[in-house]
Amino acid sequence: MTEEGIEKLIRSELIGFGGYAASKSAETLKSNLEAEAEDIIKLDANENPYGCSPRVNRALAEYKNINIYPDAGQQELREQLQKYTGVLAQHIVASAGSDQLIDLIMRLFVSPADEVINCIPTFAMFDFFIKLCSGKAINVPRDEQHNVDVTAVKKAINKKTKLIFLATPNNPTGTITPREDIIEILDTGIPTVVDEAYYEFTGETMAPLVGKYKNLMLLRTFSKWAGLAGLRVGYGMFPVEIADYILKIKEPYCVNAAALAAVRETLQDTDYLMANVKNIIGERERLFSGLQLIEWLKPYPSQANFILCCILKGKARQLQQSLQARGILVRYFDQPLLENCIRISVGKPEQNDILLETLKIIGEELND
Ligand SMILES: Cc1ncc(COP(=O)(O)O)c(C=O)c1O
């Protein structure tokens, strides 16, 4: 069948769908780079440079029941999450990464042509799933400091508005949305998703309001603070009625057995993991100061495990390529509201040192 033939058959609104520009693995890139895969400094996907708890590696090595489907009702996991979050298990549903919950929430609320308010620039997967549902993204730009424009959000609401999406801290800007602003948005009554993927780096949460606001949905993940990105496990906290629907529409075994075992161990080792989070926060501040000293970069303060920088001289894409050629991976953006920017995930001290050194060398080349 010709490609033209395929396009006659698929949903017309998905013709030309851009997909998500996911980070490339070190293995995929290694043939183009001078560095060996294990020497690559991967600062492009906000992963945890310290990895997971050693207890997780031990538990997975010893795991015996790979031939058995995991518990579709997630009973033990939801009880563990109740202990961790302080929110009752009946409000909680887990998934294969919080990405999957974004998808499930869209599918639950959004029919074709329904509107979803998105506070841009923000996490690209919100727009991805809006489009996948044939919904319409109503983009409300953040202000120059990347704060949510609450007045503009409220103005954008109409009869077709089904959801509001809001990440705090926001990816890729690192900005936190103050509690009063979130409450003002919740008071509109529109179902609102507050994505707290980076919660552990701030300690600020709306969790105590889950269930109290009938329109508040909170998302969290084990990918960032707990170093489980590769196992794909996230969770959401919802009003019970919404949690029940999400449980019904999710695929039964969306959290796999390895992820269940990993979360069990992770939640027994929070002191170790939070010590790593503390190191990352300390390094973030040190990296920020180092980046500020580079006159052709403008870093933005961040409350998460990454730093967004505007490039004041040269092109972000070129900088990303020069760093990649030297074995350092960062993410670049060149789109409205994120013109000529890179996002650097905070690495270990020695990785951040190499990055800063390399940026200085590239800067000298820029001046030549
Ligand atoms: C704001 C935000 N939400 C959700 C996710 C997805 O996390 P997960 O790995 O749990 O799918 C990310 C990952 O980068 C993110 O930045």
What is the pLDDT, as a whole number, of residue 4?
Answer: 66
Q: Which residues' Cβ are closer than 6 Å to ligand 1?
A: 46, 97-99, 123, 167, 171, 195, 197, 221, 223, 229, 234
Distance CA 245, CA 234 (A): 17
What is the pLDDT, as a whole number, of residue 32?
Answer: 65
Distance CA 136, CA 150 (A): 20
**Residues whose CB falls within 8 Å of the CB of residue 363, separated by 6 or more in sequence, listed in order:** 294, 296
Q: How far is the CA of 200 from the centre of ligand 1 (A)?
A: 13
Lowest mean pLDDT among 8-12, 32-36, 91-95, 244-248: 32-36
Q: How far is the CA of 162 from the centre of ligand 1 (A)?
A: 22
Q: How confident is the model at residue 367 (pLDDT cuts 50, 70, 90)?
A: confident
pLDDT tens for residues 303-326? 999 999 999 999 999 999 999 999
Q: How far is the CA of 367 from the centre of ligand 1 (A)?
A: 37
| Ligand 1 atom index nearest CA of 170 | 1
pTM recorded for the entire structure: 0.96
Please report the DSSP string for 19-68 in residue order.
---PPPPHHHHGGGSSS-GGG-EE-SS---TT-S-HHHHHHHHH---TTS
Give the position of tokens 């505007």. 310
Q: How confident is the model at residue 2 (pLDDT cuts 50, 70, 90)?
A: low
**Residue by residue, what is the 3-state secondary structure of 278-292?**
HHHHHHHHHHHHHHH
Determine what percent of the chain is predicted with pLDDT higher than 90: 89
**Residues whose CB falls within 8 Å of the CB of residue 357, separated by 6 or more in sequence, listed in order:** none
Q: Is the pLDDT of residue 27 over 80?
A: no
What is the pLDDT, as a whole number, of residue 3?
Answer: 55
Q: What is the mean pLDDT of residues 234-255?
A: 98
Task: Report the chain's mean pLDDT, rounded to a whole number.
Answer: 95
Q: Look up residue 309 and give its two tokens.
A: 């920088």
What is the pLDDT, as a whole number, of residue 339?
Answer: 96
**Residues whose CB falls within 8 Å of the CB of residue 240, separated by 6 or more in sequence, listed in order:** 90, 91, 211
Q: What is the mean pLDDT of residues 39-53?
A: 97
